[in-house]
Every structure is written in structure tokens, then in C-alpha cells.
Amino acid sequence: MPMKLSRLYQPRNPLFWLMVTLNLLSMVLGWISHNYLPGVFVSLIIVAFAFGNGLLGIYLMWRLAKT
């Protein structure tokens, strides 16, 4: 059974705003990694944050679409 994307837009639900914040954080992480040449350690930290951010964002989208 396909889920409707319109179910993701729930401005009264705090999970929606957390998902929006995570998407903005993804944009900032992408901008930082594109415009700066960080060292290996900083690159690993950015990758870890981006990976965790993506997983949490997918989980929140699933929870919002499910409810």
C-alpha cells in the first residue's frame, strides 16, 4: 500500500519540525563539504553526522507518513 506524501506535512507535529531541521542540517553539511577542504578527521566527522542525519530523517519521514 503506497503512502501519500501529503501526510508528511504536519506543522502541528514536532516530528515535522525536527525533520525540517534535519533537512536544513543536511544542506549545511553539504555546503561545508563542498566549499571547504577539511582534513581527514573533520571529513570523517562530517560523514558520520551526515549518515546519522540521513538515517534519522528517513525514520522521521516514515513515522510521519505512518500516522
Query: Going residue by residue through the chain (67 aa), what tens digit of pLDDT does each one get?
Result: 566 767 778 889 898 899 889 888 888 887 887 788 878 898 888 888 888 888 898 898 888 888 6
For the full predicted model, state whether its pTM sits above 0.75.
Answer: no
Half-sphere exposure of 65 (CA within 13 A, CB side): 12
Say what the pLDDT of residue 65 is.
Answer: 85
Q: What is the pLDDT of residue 17?
A: 92
Q: Is 37 helix (H, G, I), strand (E, B) or coil?
A: coil
Nearest to 30 by CA among 44, 47, 16: 47
Per the CB < 8 A criterion, the answer to whether 38 and 10 are in contact is no
